[in-house]
Amino acid sequence: MIVLAIETACDDTAVAIVRDGHDVMSNVVLTETIAHERFGGIVPELAARAQLELLTPAIEQALADASVKLHQIDALAVNNRHGLLRSITVGVAAAKALSLALNIPLMPIHHIEGHIYSAIIENPTMPWPHVCLTVAGGHNLLLQANSHGEYQLLGRTLDDAAGEVYDKLARRLGLGFPGGPKVDKLAAKGNPTAFDLPRPMIGDGTCDFSFSGLKTAVTRLLDDLEEASQPIPVEDIAASFQAAVVDVLVAKVLVAMRKVSASVVTVTGGVSANSGLRSRLSEMASHHDFEAFFPSLRYCTDNAAMIACAAHYRGIEHAVGTNEGLDASSNAPLGELGVLYSSKKQRGQ
List residues binding Zn ion (CB under 5 A): 136, 302
Of 220, 169, 215, the closest CA to residue 190 belongs to 169
302 binds ligand KG4 (CB under 6 A): yes
**Please, are residues 133 and 265 in contact by the beta-carbon 8 Å criterion?**
yes
Choosing from 21, 108, 137, 149, the residue that interacts with ligand KG4 (CB under 6 A) is 137
- Based on its alpha-carbon atoms, the radius of gyration of the chain, rounded to whole angstroms, reads 20
CA atoms of 324 and 313, how far apart (whole Å):
22
Rounded to the nearest whole angstrom, what is the least distance from the CB of residue 273 to Zn ion in the complex? 11
Query: Between 136 and 304, whose beta carbon lies closer to ligand KG4?
Result: 136
Cβ closest to ligand KG4, residue 63 vs residue 311:
311
Closest distance of CB 15 from ligand KG4, Å: 15
Cis upstream peptide for 105 (omega within 30°): no
Q: For residues 276 and 263, give the distance between their C-alpha atoms in angstroms, rounded to a whole number.
A: 22
Cis link prior to 198 (omega < 30° from 0)? Answer: no
Based on the shown chain and the rule CB under 6 A, indicate whether residue 119 belongs to the binding site for ligand KG4: no
Among 76, 104, 133, 136, binds ligand KG4 (CB under 6 A): 136
Residue nearer to ligand KG4 on the CB measure, 144 or 274: 274
User: Minimum Å distance from CB 260 to ligand KG4?
Assistant: 23
Q: Which of 151, 166, 294, 299 binds ligand KG4 (CB under 6 A)?
A: 166
How many whole angstroms separate alpha carbon 108 and alpha carbon 346?
10
Apex 241 CA angle, 239 and 244, nearest 5? 110
Listed ranges 67-75, 85-93, 136-144, 259-267: which one lies at the site for ligand KG4 (CB under 6 A): 136-144
CA distance 110 to 329: 10
Selected range binding ligand KG4 among 72-80, 159-167, 220-228, 284-292, rule: CB under 6 A: 159-167
Give the nearer residue to ligand KG4 in terms of CB position, either 32 or 74. Answer: 32
Contact 131/144 with Cβ under 8 angstroms? yes
Task: For residue 49, give the amino acid letter.
Answer: R
Q: Which is nearer to Zn ion, 11 or 302 (CB)?
A: 302
Whichever of 21 and 178 has its CB closer to ligand KG4, that residue is: 178
Using CB atoms within 10 Å of the CB of residue 87, give its burial: 0 to 12 exposed, 13 to 18 middle, 19+ buried. buried
Q: How near is the Cβ of 67 to ligand KG4 at its closest, in Å?
A: 27
Which of 113, 160, 184, 208 forms a contact with ligand KG4 (CB under 6 A)? 184
Half-sphere exposure of 193 (CA within 13 A, CB side): 0
CA distance 168 to 222: 12
Partner whose binding site includes residue 273, from Zn ion, ligand KG4, none (CB under 5 to 8 Å by kind): ligand KG4
Q: Which chain residues interact with ligand KG4 by CB under 6 A? A: 9-10, 136-138, 163-164, 166-167, 178-181, 184, 269-271, 273-274, 301-302
